[in-house]
Amino acid sequence: MDYTGIILTGTSASGKSSIAQALCSFDGRFQIVKALTTREPRDDDFNYEYISKEVFGERRGRGEFIIEAEYRNEYYSISQDHIKEVIDNGKIPILIITPQSTSNPLKIGGIKRDFLSFFLDATDSILEQRLIARGSSINRQNVVERNNSDREYQKHSLYGIITTRGEDIKEVVNLIVWSWNNKNSGGILPSQIIKLFIKYCSLVESEFMINYEKNISAASFDLTLGDSYFQNGQIKELKDNEPNIVIHPGDFIVVGSQERVSMPASIAGRFDLTVSMFCKGLILSNGPQVDPGFKGNLFCLLFNTSSEKIELQKGTHYATIEFHKLVEPTLNPYSEKDKYQHKEKIMHYLPVTKSISIIHQVQKDIESLKNEKRLMQTLTIIISIVGILLAAAALVVTLK
């Protein structure tokens, strides 16, 4: 995909201007495109040209803007001349725009242009603190409502970046620069990029991920066994006093990961069992691909092909996922309309008619028949012995 530049958008006080400045300082290829606004100047402003609402309306009427928006009763826009100036200087333009503006196509000189878009966000409490530090007069309920409204537009951005997790602006800049440099190339993500995507883009999440870096290998992430599993027609839960799953020969179970994934439209995943699990005789019986856009836990069917029972412990590392950057974002990512989006419970992945393993049941039936056969053989022997004893007793009586 031929990207013209970068878009930074997101909730108010999410750090758009700070990251844009740092990006330009770190990499001289980038330049922020000056924007127009009718609002009052702020101390931290650096990329705005201030005009009145009357002048704004006149310039709009002349068709000077490539994009415009109304935000909190003020007007914002970027002019054709300002972005052309940056492009003519041989720079990569950075547009800082409102979330609402991302839903509209951008045209420069009448030609639609694509931009690599990042949606910046933070928790409501952090955003509120930043607004107060800025000297803004706020109403908490209004702030939360506005933030939620802004987040409705995140779907128009390729990447979402969370800036409240002990962030280092340099790391966020590294992630954006890497994304730009690899915008038209594909491949497996290495450990350092997996780390950035987990830390700032919620690529993998779990309440148990306190030290998630230990789960990151050279080019993969270790998945751990969740508490819920399906076996012999029942959904069961692992507990601290019952931490093991027992899988009998020929039996299958459905298990899930403790971790949730949140895949951008430009990244797909593939997961499979660890080598140690495979060597025990377990195989993964469903497709291992995780589609771009998918959000939720990962579930799979495990089948015991060995002649021995296999035990899995709660929280154990049982599978590994690798992440593949697509050559360009898919136009048809997994979305809200798809069946398993945001599904985190094992019950959502089970068929309507649940059954136990046929093979394991057949084995149990065979064993039962074997027991019945042994019983019949034993009864036959007993009856024969009793018959012999009776015959012997009758013979003794006759001789007397």
pLDDT digits (tens, 9 = 90+) for 9-23: 999 999 999 999 999
Reported in sequence order, the residue ranges of 45-155 that DSSP labels E, i.e. its strands, are 48-50, 65-71, 74-79, 92-96, 106-108, 111-121
The pLDDT of residue 306 is above 60:
yes
Region 52-64: mean pLDDT is 94
The region that residue 237 occupies, defined by phi over 0 for left and psi between -120 and 50 for alpha, beta otherwise, is beta
Nearest alpha carbon to residue 96 among 51, 34, 154, 177? 34
pLDDT (0 to 100) of residue 286: 74
Q: Please, which pLDDT band fits residue 47 given cuts at 50, 70 and 90?
A: confident
DSSP state of 216: B
The length of the chain, given as a count of residues? 400
Q: How far apart are CA 332 and CA 340, in angstroms?
A: 15
Residue type, 391: A
Please list, in sequence order, all residues whose beta carbon lies within 8 angstroms of the beta carbon of residue 56, skipping any fewer than 6 positions away: 36, 38, 75, 77
Region 312-316: mean pLDDT is 93
Q: How far apart are CA 286 and CA 377, in angstroms?
A: 44
Reported in sequence order, the residue ranges of 20-91 that DSSP labels E, i.e. its strands, are 30-32, 35-37, 48-50, 65-71, 74-79
Region 118-142: mean pLDDT is 90
Tell me what percent of the residues of the chain surpass a pLDDT of 70: 86
All structural domains of the chain:
3-184 (3.40.50.300), 212-349 (2.70.40.10)
pLDDT digits (tens, 9 = 90+) for 182-202: 999 999 999 999 999 999 999
Q: Please, which pLDDT band fits residue 275 given cuts at 50, 70 and 90?
A: very high
CB atoms closer than 10 angstroms to residue 281: 16
With residue 228 as reference, give the H or E element that holds it. strand 221-231
Cβ proximity of 87 and 115 under 8 Å: no
Please list, in sequence order, all residues whose beta carbon lies within 8 angstroms of the beta carbon of residue 92, skipping any fewer than 6 positions away: 5, 6, 29, 30, 31, 180
- Higher-confidence position of 301 and 372: 301
* pTM of the predicted structure, to 2 decimals: 0.85
With residue 320 as reference, give the H or E element that holds it. strand 317-325
Region 145-158: mean pLDDT is 96
CB atoms closer than 10 angstroms to residue 186: 13
pLDDT (0 to 100) of residue 347: 85
pLDDT (0 to 100) of residue 362: 46
Region 239-253: mean pLDDT is 92
pLDDT digits (tens, 9 = 90+) for 345-392: 888 888 655 544 544 554 555 456 456 556 666 666 666 676 666 666
